[in-house]
């Protein structure tokens, strides 16, 4: 049976029945999204990779007892957020959150399809990603987190995860998006015109 055609509930059910390939599919399905989210907080690829490993180890250990199969993605992001915050609490003297790692900046190149993009396409994608990342860095950590979460979750899922009213999140998201638009329109008009209008 091809696991990629199954929904999250079916995958969780199959994993609970001993099918470890179903867990592999869960990891493949969500690893990049969760990594991007964690990277938006840590700005450190090594720390992000460690946290992602911890997230999926914890998922593997607890998934057999998990009962809300239809909310798997929300649970993954909640685990990622909690593990990231725990990491910073334990390592606060060694590493400050939201450090900039310019050489290892997460870029749109990571999201390009596998069919060998041309070097010019890579350069353009990297330049745009750098502009967007630079603009995102000018937002508060809370605003940046909300924008990254909204890329993968619904407002309802974010509200459940953060235990906040949807109206509050909508307001904060619109404010953050407005700030991002303003920053890009002033600093990167081409990127603004392409992505934010």
Top mean pLDDT of 55-59, 104-108, 153-157, 188-192 is at 55-59
Distance CA 52, CA 68 (A): 21
Residue 108, pLDDT > 70, answer no
Alpha helix (H) ranges present in 96-197? 119-137, 141-150, 155-162, 166-187, 189-191
Residue 121, pLDDT > 50, answer yes
Predicted local confidence at residue 26, as pLDDT:
92
Predicted local confidence at residue 27, as pLDDT:
92
Q: Summarize the confidence of residues 67-89 as an average pLDDT.
A: 84
Contact 135, 180 (CB under 8 A): yes
Predicted local confidence at residue 31, as pLDDT:
92
Predicted local confidence at residue 103, as pLDDT:
40
pLDDT in tens, 164-186: 888 888 888 888 888 888 888 88
Higher local confidence (pLDDT), 93 or 107: 93
CA distances from 141 to 62, 78, 107 (A): 29, 16, 18
Q: Summarize the confidence of residues 19-36 as an average pLDDT.
A: 91
Q: Name the residue among 30, 1, 27, 25 with its Cα closest to residue 11.
A: 25
Q: How confident is the model at residue 101 (pLDDT cuts 50, 70, 90)?
A: very low
Lowest-confidence pick of 17-31, 71-85, 117-131, 153-167: 117-131
Q: Summarize the confidence of residues 146-157 as an average pLDDT.
A: 84
Count the neighbouring beta carbons within 10 Å of the beta carbon of residue 190: 11
- The structure tokens 């209008």 sit at 197
Contact 136, 147 (CB under 8 A): yes
Q: Summarize the confidence of residues 106-119 as an average pLDDT.
A: 45
Residue 97, pLDDT > 70, answer no
pLDDT in tens, 34-67: 998 888 888 888 889 999 999 999 999 888 888 8
pLDDT in tens, 9-22: 889 989 989 888 89
All structural domains of the chain, each given as residue ranges with its CATH number in brackets, are 1-106 (1.10.1740.10), 110-197 (1.10.10.10)
Predicted local confidence at residue 112, as pLDDT:
37
């Amino acid at each position: 049976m091809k696991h990629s055609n199954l929904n999250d509930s079916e995958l969780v059910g199959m994993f609970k029945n001993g099918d470890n390939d179903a867990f592999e599919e869960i990891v493949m399905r969500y690893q990049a999204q969760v990594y991007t989210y964690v990277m938006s907080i840590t700005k450190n690829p090594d720390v992000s990779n460690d946290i992602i490993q911890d997230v999926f180890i914890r998922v593997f250990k607890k998934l057999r007892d998990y009962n809300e199969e239809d909310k798997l993605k929300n649970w993954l992001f909640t685990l990622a957020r909690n593990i990231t915050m725990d990491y910073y609490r334990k390592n606060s003297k060694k590493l400050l959150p939201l450090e900039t790692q310019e050489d290892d900046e997460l870029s749109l190149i990571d999201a390009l399809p596998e069919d060998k993009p041309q070097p010019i396409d890579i350069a353009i994608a990297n330049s745009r990603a750098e502009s967007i990342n630079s603009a995102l860095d000018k937002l508060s950590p809370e605003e940046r987190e909300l924008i990254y979460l909204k890329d993968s979750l619904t407002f309802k899922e974010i509200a459940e995860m953060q235990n906040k009213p949807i109206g509050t999140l909508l307001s904060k998201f619109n404010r953050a998006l407005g700030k991002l638009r303003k920053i890009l329109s002033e600093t990167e008009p081409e990127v603004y015109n392409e992505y934010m209008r």
